[in-house]
Amino acid sequence: MKTFEEIKTAIEAAVPGAGVEFVPNPSPSAQHSIRVAPDRAIEIARFLRDDSELAFDFCSNVTGVDWLDKEISEKVKVKRTVTKTVDGVEQSVEETADETRKRVEPGYLEAVYHLFSIAKKHGPLVIRMRTGNRTDRVELPSLTPIWRGAEFQEREVFDLYGIVFKGHPDLRRILMWEGFKDHPMRRDYVDPDDYEYEPTAHDAVLKRAQAHQAAAGK
Amino acid sequence: MAIEENLKIELGKQGVFVTTLEELYNWGRRSSIWPMQFGLACCAIEMIATTMARYDLARFGAEVFRPSPRQADLMIVSGTVTKKMAPQVVRLYNQMAEPRYVIAMGACAISGGPFKQGYNVLKGIDRYIPVDVHIPGCPPRPEALIQAFMTLQKKIDEQPLTGENRPRFLNQNAQGEFPVPEPADHDLEPPSNPGVWSAPVVIR
């Protein structure tokens, strides 16, 4: 298989403004991925499938990732003018001070596709797409028109993570029932409080069971 | 009216067969329990093995797995009951004709098992329908299912046909239909049937 640099150059040559970004994986698996811009994803996917050298004809897996809002605190050196009394005379003195600033990096949802080439016997190539946020801008283009096998898996991602795939032929819930309101694989999902009988509870379950008992005792 | 056991044996030696209507009736009932043919998960594989030649469930008169709830006497809940599937299981149980019995087979069917904290797993089918025999195991071996059958047969054998403990189908006032839970916004509604199940007290 081509290196990531070569793939990136090839995509950018074929699809202008593709916005391809290399996402390294620092773990020992070293399964790096590339992130693509959602608005060009269909063209990029078509190129990856149809290019004679890459020929990623098989989409083996589609999954989702939920990234919560991240609060980042960083120390910044700030220059400020302070009025001080030096030798009985008031003076303006500049000094540097440390300041901790907090900013919130908004969360997003990610769809991850694992691509293989049956024809060229190489892979996997992992491509990712990000949504705008976790609440109202959760739309991504569906890659089902490119890889038919992605249909059910995109439905599963829609069901469990709440990513809405535009252009999907039949986007319904696949595991949970119709009318279910939550997305259970999101990290802020809270399951229903049915902890009335937990004979061997421990850790998180024990906490939920105790909370349930406390609420029931009131 | 029970007959004295020794007298019965003595008469039997003389070629006289004595029994009671209750005994005869229960013998007939327990010797042909027809299970319903449906499986929910991997426990169903063990259930199938139980019916095959090696374990031979036919010895208990239960080899006829009926594909219709109308003809079945026994529901073997063999596997994980998801919250999406639970209404259908209760509905099938409602469609069965009396007398009907339920064996909850395996860890999932009795409590949710390894998937208990899953978002789509019911924490035991006994929350909605009355279960006669629970078998633990993941999955239970065919011997365990046979043990459950024998337990159920014993239970049927001991049922009096009159009085307080008579079977449900001989009781005019007994509950015949069990409410089917509705899938709601976040969970099944109601989360359990209080007439059938209440949380057991945990003794520590």
CA-nearest residue to B200 within chain A is A197
Enclosing domain of residue B49: 36-157
Inter-residue contact A11 to A47 (CB < 8 Å): yes
Contact B185 A205 (CB under 8 A): no
Q: Among positive and negative, which fits the CA dihedral B104, B106, B109, B111?
A: positive
Contact B187 A189 (CB under 8 A): no
- C-alpha angle B70-B100-B79 in degrees, rounded to nearest 5: 90
- The DSSP output letter for B102 is E
pTM of the full structure:
0.83
Please report whether residue B51 resides in a domain. yes
CB contact under 8 A, B186 and A198: no
Quote the number of domains for chain B.
1
Together in a domain, A17 and A55:
yes
- What percentage of chain B reaches a pLDDT higher than 70? 99
Residue type, B96: M
Do A203 and A145 fall into the same domain?
no
Answer yes or no: do A193 and A122 share one domain: no
Q: Are residues A42 and A27 in the same domain?
A: yes
- Between β-strands A122-130 and A139-141, what pairing exists: parallel, antiparallel or unpaired? unpaired
The helix or strand, by DSSP H or E, that contains position B9, with its residue range, turns out to be: helix B5-13
Q: Is the pLDDT of residue B1 over 60?
A: no
Distance in Å, alpha carbon of A77 to nearest chain B alpha carbon: 47
Q: Which domain holds residue A196?
A: 188-218
Chain A interface test: which of B202, B203, B204 (most A C-beta within 10 Å): B202
Work out the number of other CB atoms within 10 angstroms of the CB of residue A112.
17
Mean pLDDT computed over B76-86? 93
Can you give the CATH number for the domain in which B50 is found? Answer: 3.40.50.12280
In a domain, B129, yes or no: yes
Question: What does each C-alpha distance from A213 to A194, B76, B97 come to in angstroms?
Answer: 11, 33, 39
Same domain, A124 and A163: yes
Task: Collect all residues from A whose CB is shorter than 8 A from any CB in B.
Answer: 175-182, 184, 189, 191-192, 194, 196-199, 205
pLDDT of the residue at A170: 92
* B179, part of any domain: no
Taking CB atoms and an 8 Å cutoff, what residues of chain B touch A182?
119, 186
Q: Which of B85, B120, B126 to mutate to test the interface with A (most CBs of A within 10 A)?
A: B120
Q: What is the pLDDT of residues B138-172, one digit of tens each?
A: 999 999 999 999 999 999 998 888 888 888 888 88
CA B165 to chain centre: 17
Could you tell me if B99 and B167 are in contact, meaning their C-beta atoms sit under 8 angstroms apart? yes
* Residue B106 belongs to some domain of the structure: yes
pLDDT digits (tens, 9 = 90+) for A175-201: 999 989 999 999 999 888 888 888 888
| Strand boundaries in chain B, DSSP class E | 74-78, 101-105, 133-135, 182-183, 188-189
Residues A194, B120: C-beta atoms closer than 8 Å = no
Q: Which of B83, B117, B200 is nearest residue A197 as measured by Cβ atoms?
A: B200
Query: CATH no. for residue A25?
Result: 3.30.460.80
* CA–CA distance, A63 with A123 (Å, rounded to integer): 17
Q: Which residues of chain A have pLDDT under 50?
A: none
**Mapping DSSP to helix (H, G, I), strand (E, B) and coil, where does residue B58 land?**
helix
Residue B105: its pLDDT value, please?
93
Domain count within chain A: 3
Residues A52, A20 share a domain: yes
State how far residue B184 is from chain A, nearest Cα, in angstroms.
6
B75 in a domain, yes or no?
A: yes
Do A49 and A100 share a structural domain? Answer: no
CB contact under 8 A, A179 and B123: no
| Claim to verify: residue A63 and residue A78 sit in the same structural domain | no
Sort strands A58-67 and A108-117 into parallel, antiparallel or unpaired.
Answer: antiparallel
What are the tens digits of pLDDT across the range B172-183? 888 888 999 999
Res B81 pLDDT > 90: yes
Residue B80: its pLDDT value, please? Answer: 93
Alpha-carbon span B148 to B109, nearest angstrom = 14
d(Cα A6, Cα A101) in Å, to the nearest integer? 39
pLDDT confidence of residue A218:
64
Residues A167 and A202 both lie in one domain: no
> Is the same domain home to A119 and A14?
yes
* Mean pLDDT (chain B, rounded): 90
Answer yes or no: do A61 and A128 share one domain.
yes
Residue for token digits 């307080």? B164
- A111 to chain B nearest CA, in Å? 21
Q: Smallest Cβ distance to A205: which of B117, B192, B200?
A: B117
Judgement on whether residues A89 and A194 belong to the same structural domain of the protein: no
